[in-house]
Amino acid sequence: MTRAITIICESFADWETALINATARAYYGFDCRFAAPKGAPVTSMGGMRVTPDLALEEIRLDEVDLLMVCGGTVWQSDQAPDISALLRAARERNIVLAGICDGTRMLAKAGVLDHVRHTSNSAENLLAVNYAGAAHYQDVPHAVADQRVITAPGSAPVSFMAQILRTLGIDDENLTAYIGMHAAEHNKVR
């Protein structure tokens, strides 16, 4: 069973990792868990109150296949937990790492994006953390996967989900149908 942990903090962007967690758990049998600083309950930007499964400090990387950083306003503030050491250690273990929206800032801050193609909400969003990977930034509206690292702007939860699953070796008819279902909505928007 694939074991996934999503890092969430106060005011996390609840829609950004909802698709990957729901799809991975319901259709592919992942063990999806959530971690927050000190294991304390957090409230999403949408007002959803979540009691995490574990504290950030309790994450055991030998029990993780996928580690995701959900976006949210905290990552641009002084209240953001410093998870750089955790992310570097996960990268050294070849654990799939994923960040969406401002969660990409933490990957950049940890040095994870220094040598891989990546994206975010904007190039300026990452330059604010003074990282060394600007030459690898991709200015695209969808998720980017490279060397087991997946990044996406906050507006791309569908391609974020797809790239994570593909990186984990899942690319079947169910995934194609699910992507098609979500893409159909955007073909009708005027």
pLDDT of residue 188: 61
- Largest pairwise CA distance in the chain: 47
Average pLDDT over residues 93-98: 98
What does the pLDDT look like over 110-123, one tens digit per residue? 999 999 999 999 99
Mean pLDDT on 54-75: 97
- Contact (Cβ atoms closer than 8 angstroms) between residue 151 and residue 100: yes
| Chain mean pLDDT for the chain | 95
Owner of token pair 């950083």: 69
* Domain spans of the chain, in order of start: 3-188
pLDDT at 183 over 60: yes
- Count other Cβ atoms within 10 Å, centred on residue 98: 28
Mean pLDDT of 137-166: 97
Question: 108-121 burial, b if ≥16 CB within 10 A, otherwise e?
Answer: bbbebbeebbbbbb
- Return the structure tokens found at 146: 């490279």
Q: Which residue type does 154 have?
A: G
pLDDT band of 190, cuts 50, 70, 90: low
Task: Assess if CATH 3.40.50.880 describes domain 3-188.
Answer: yes
Tell me how far apart the alpha carbons of residues 124 and 135 are, in angstroms, rounded to a whole number.
13
Pair of tokens at residue 171: 């690319």
151-160 pLDDT, tens digit each: 999 999 999 9
